Amino acid sequence: MYTALQHLHSYLAYLVLLGLVIAIISAVAGSAGNKPFTDSNRKMALLGLIPTHLQWVVGLILYFVSPLGASNFSGAAMKDSVSRLYILEHPLMMIIAVILITVGYARAKRAVGTNKGFRAIYIFYGIALVLILARIPWNAWPGN
């Protein structure tokens, strides 16, 4: 169970990054084209939303199954930068990123037919991507 979830979380991370990059590039291009945000542009934004939501759920379960997650919590572990990354910084930052992506998508969805949808996507998804990149455990990924 633990190993399967660990692998799933590791592979889904590629889809998360790829989906976000495609959604952001397509929103920047759409915005530059000065066209209205359409339903197909909204579907493009789903490429960023769906893998991130899946990853969030898998990550949450993993947090309670992994020896690096909740079970590792202690004062001593919080003083160690790698342990603190898994116990606190990674989960917290990823949850903030998922919230930003959800808000960006919801704003864009309401803006179908106007040209404001693109901006909502590239700003909210862009900030979320920076946060995700800042707190991915690069010491372990994509190495194994």
The minimum distance between CB 104 and ligand HEM, in angstroms, equals 14
Residue 69 contacts ligand HEM per CB under 6 A: yes
CA angle 29, 35, 41 (to 5 degrees): 65
| Distance between CA atoms of residues 77 and 14, nearest Å | 28
At 144, which amino acid appears?
N
Residue 68 contacts ligand HEM per CB under 6 A: yes
Beta-carbon count within 10 A of 108 CB: 27
| Distance between start and end Cα atoms, the chain | 17
Q: Which stretch binds ligand HEM (CB under 6 A): 3-11, 36-44, 74-82, 109-117?
A: 3-11
* Closest residue to bound ligand HEM by CB: 59
Tell which one of 13, 44, 111, 131 touches ligand HEM (CB under 6 A): 13
Window 108 to 137, contacts with ligand HEM (CB under 6 A): 132, 136-137
CA angle 93, 99, 103 (to 5 degrees): 145
Residue 52 contacts ligand HEM per CB under 6 A: yes
| Distance between CA atoms of residues 22 and 86, nearest Å | 27
Interface residues with ligand HEM (CB under 6 A) are 6, 9-10, 13, 16, 52, 55-56, 59-60, 62-63, 66, 68-69, 86, 90-91, 94-95, 97-98, 132, 136-137, 140-141, 144
